[in-house]
Amino acid sequence: MQFFVDTAEVAEIAELAEAGLVDGVTTNPSLILKSGRNILEVTREICALVDGPVSAEVTAVKLDEMVAEGRRLAEIAPNIAIKLPLTWDGLKACRILTGEGRMVNVTLCFSAAQALLAARAGATFISPFIGRLDDINLDGLDLIADIRRIYDNYGFQTKILAASIRSVNHVTEVAKIGADVATVPPGVLRALVRHPLTDRGLEQFLADWARTGQRIL
Ligand code: G3P
């Protein structure tokens, strides 16, 4: 499974990229607001930091403007994936922009029916939002499993990009189901490495080693 980082904070991306953990990046209008940066400038910087897909989201809702904004975003760098909302105009824009050879990430997906339409529209990625379904007491992980089953039934090439990830458990569960990508907030990505028994075990090893009086170097 690939890891994308779900942020527009350049410093966070740079630091995590050093660990070889960043296969791509996803942003959205809320993350751009949080970054306090100009969308074109910060997206250009992110595209230069990672080789993988960088999702930048259009803000128009009508077909013609969506396509125009998508083409503008795609001019930033070759690794741009244009993010389009899962609406009729978004699906039509997806068909046009993928038809031009561009990567498209169809976002704000909350049902298997929506994901089926996105695959039919030729989406490169589909972004089902797990956490927001959990927030209303629906099971976001069930949606990932349903989409995986439907896509495998028909050999759809659209990649399942699990989004709205809130916990380490979300990451491991979507990996078990077979999501192609998880886009993970920096804090959750860092939490993947942590376990209290690892900390305790290392502490004991170092204490016992100190008692040997030995040195390796
Ligand atoms: O990539 C989508 C993600 O940023 C949404 O996450 O936590 O706002 O539902 P969240």
The set of protein residues with a Cβ atom below 6 angstroms from ligand 1 is: 6, 26, 28, 31, 129, 131-132, 163-164, 183
pLDDT of residue 19 exceeding 90: no
As given in the structure block, the two tokens for residue 36 are 């306090």
Any catalytic annotation for residue 159?
no
| For residues 45-70, average pLDDT | 98
pLDDT of residue 21 exceeding 90: no
Q: Tally the C-alpha atoms within 13 A of residue 205's C-alpha that lie toward its C-beta.
A: 6
**CB distance 188 to 168 below 8 Å:** yes
Distance from residue 202's CA to the centre of ligand 1 (Å): 35
Please provide the average confidence, as pLDDT, over all residues in the chain: 98
**CB distance 126 to 115 below 8 Å:** yes
Give per-residue pLDDT as tens, 97-117.
Answer: 999 999 999 999 999 999 999
The full set of domains in the chain, from first to last, is 2-191 (3.20.20.70)
Would you state the pLDDT for residue 145? 98
Q: Which atom of ligand 1 is nearest to the CA of 132?
A: 9
Give per-residue pLDDT as tens, 164-195.
Answer: 999 999 999 999 999 999 999 999 999 999 99
Look up the pTM and report it.
0.95
Cβ neighbours around 97 below 10 Å, total: 25
Angstrom distance (rounded) from CA 102 to CA 156: 17
Task: Tell me the percentage of the chain whose pLDDT exceeds 70.
Answer: 100
